Amino acid sequence: EVQLVESGGGLVQPGRSLRLSCTASGFTFGDYAMSWVRQAPGKGLEWVGFIRSKAYGGTTEYAASVKGRFTISRDDSKSIAYLQMNSLKTEDTAVYYCTKIFGGSSGYSDYWGQGTLVTVSS
Amino acid sequence: SYELTQPPSVSVSPGQTARITCSGDALPKKYAYWYQQKSGQAPVLVIYEDSKRPSGIPERFSGSSSGTMATLTISGAQVEDEADYYCYSTDSSGNHRGVFGGGTKLTVL
């Protein structure tokens, strides 16, 4: 059974940093791309970015709203994906979901974690 | 930036057919995907590659795409289908950046 568990959320001040983790199980983590999607309170889903599998270079793509501030990485030996968030803004407040992508280079999210809440406030 | 447009809300009575649309300029070249999100829960994939249904999704859920519009159809909608529905696709940049529609609140009552 595929499981994705996000951790690392919490309250952080504007301008500070936070790192989210996504611990995966139930599939061969290194074979798949992984993505992050967020949802501000009462709002819709927003695609944040994804990281390809090492077989496809482990490269990343980001939404314009986070490019240059957020970094996605992965540790295949631990089956963990990370979302490093720097220079946080109040508008980054959201539930952050980790998702498994159907494929190694790109594709759609076929499994989702339950999400972790990030609140950016002074 | 690329956008997918959905109606904010759709309302049907139980047993009726609900149709939710999603329009985007790249849809003639890119697949559409549909996610169901019930209150307080993570999204669940209900349609992939325009019209395919994952295992475990009821047959009343179907999808189609023509030109710049994709459609999610729920034939004989049930009360338990009440949820937010999001379409998803990628832009035409070649980098596979994703985009979600704004979401449609389906009310079944």
Residue from the list A45, A63, A106 with its beta carbon closest to the beta carbon of B43: A45
* A5 pLDDT more than 90: yes
Q: Which residues pair with B37 in a beta bridge?
A: B84
Considering only CB atoms, which chain A residues are within 8 Å of B88? Answer: 45, 47, 108-109
Question: How many Å apart are CA B99 and CA B109, to the nearest integer?
Answer: 30
Chain A window 49-68: which residues touch B at a Cβ cutoff of 8 Å?
Answer: 50, 61-64
- The verdict on a CB contact (< 8 Å) between A115 and B42 is yes
Mean pLDDT, chain A, integer: 96
Distance of CA B10 to the CA centre of its chain: 12
Q: Report, as an integer, the average pLDDT of A92-104.
A: 95
| pLDDT per residue of chain B (109 residues) written in tens, 0 to 9 | 889 999 999 999 999 999 999 999 999 999 999 999 999 999 999 999 999 999 999 999 999 999 999 999 999 999 999 999 999 999 888 788 999 999 999 999 9
Q: How far is CA A92 from CA A23, A52, A70, B98, in A?
A: 22, 23, 11, 18
Q: Where are the beta strands (DSSP E) in chain B?
A: 9-12, 18-23, 33-37, 44-47, 61-66, 69-74, 83-90, 98-100, 104-108
Backbone angles phi, psi at A30, to 5 degrees: -65, -15
Check: CB of residue A114 under 8 Å from CB of residue A3: no
A-chain residue closest to B85, CA distance? A44
Q: Write down the pLDDT at residue B69.
A: 97
Check: CB of residue B88 under 8 Å from CB of residue B99: yes
- The verdict on a CB contact (< 8 Å) between B42 and A35 is no
Enumerate helices (H) and strands (E) in chain B, giving the number of each. 0, 9
B99 touches chain A (CB under 8 A): yes
* A91 pLDDT more than 90: yes
The pair of structure tokens assigned to A71 is: 């970094």
Q: Report, as an integer, the average pLDDT of A65-78.
A: 98
Considering only CB atoms, which chain B residues are within 8 Å of A110? Answer: 45, 48, 54
Question: How many Å apart are CA B20 and CA B71, to the nearest integer?
Answer: 6
A105 touches chain B (CB under 8 A): yes
Distance of CA A82 to the CA centre of its chain: 6
Task: Compute the count of residue pairs across chains A and B with CB atoms less than 8 Å apart.
Answer: 54
The amino acid at A32: Y
Considering only CB atoms, which chain A residues are within 8 Å of B99? Answer: 47
- The verdict on a CB contact (< 8 Å) between A61 and B102 is no
A113 touches chain B (CB under 8 A): yes
In the sheet with A18-25, reading across from the earlier edge strand, the strands are A3-7, A18-25, A80-85, A70-75
* A50 pLDDT more than 90: yes
Question: How many Å apart are CA A23 and CA A35, to the nearest integer?
Answer: 13
Structure confidence by residue, pLDDT tens digits, A11-28: 999 999 999 999 999 999
* A90 pLDDT more than 90: yes
Q: Write down the pLDDT at residue B60.
A: 98
Q: How far is CA B40 from CA A51, B89, B109, in A?
A: 27, 23, 20
Q: In the structure, what pLDDT confidence band is assigned to residue A103 with cuts at 50, 70 and 90?
A: confident
